[in-house]
Amino acid sequence: MQMGPLQLLLIAVVVLVLFGRGKVSSLMGEVGKGITAFKKGVSDGSAELEKEAADAASVAKDVTPETKDKV
């Protein structure tokens, strides 16, 4: 079921009446801070993974199989 603009406006008015303008604005501010912190965490995590991948690529690994000499 989709909500139209009239339903969204009605919900916004009810929330505003129940909680007051100050409470709603502070709540939205906290939501904004949470989203910003989440985006920063995601970008920091991906930067750390890229750094680890670059470090692993710069170190040469010997992958030659060991041969056993038969005497």
Cβ burial, residue 34 (10 Å; 0-12/13-18/19+): exposed
Per-residue pLDDT at 43 = 92
Per-residue pLDDT at 6 = 93
Query: How many whole angstroms separate alpha carbon 45 and alpha carbon 39?
Result: 10
Across the chain, which has 71 residues, the per-10-residue mean pLDDT values are: 87 89 88 95 90 75 74 57
Domain boundaries, given as residue ranges, for the chain? 17-51
Per-residue pLDDT at 19 = 87
CB 24 within 8 A of CB 15: yes
Per-residue pLDDT at 11 = 92
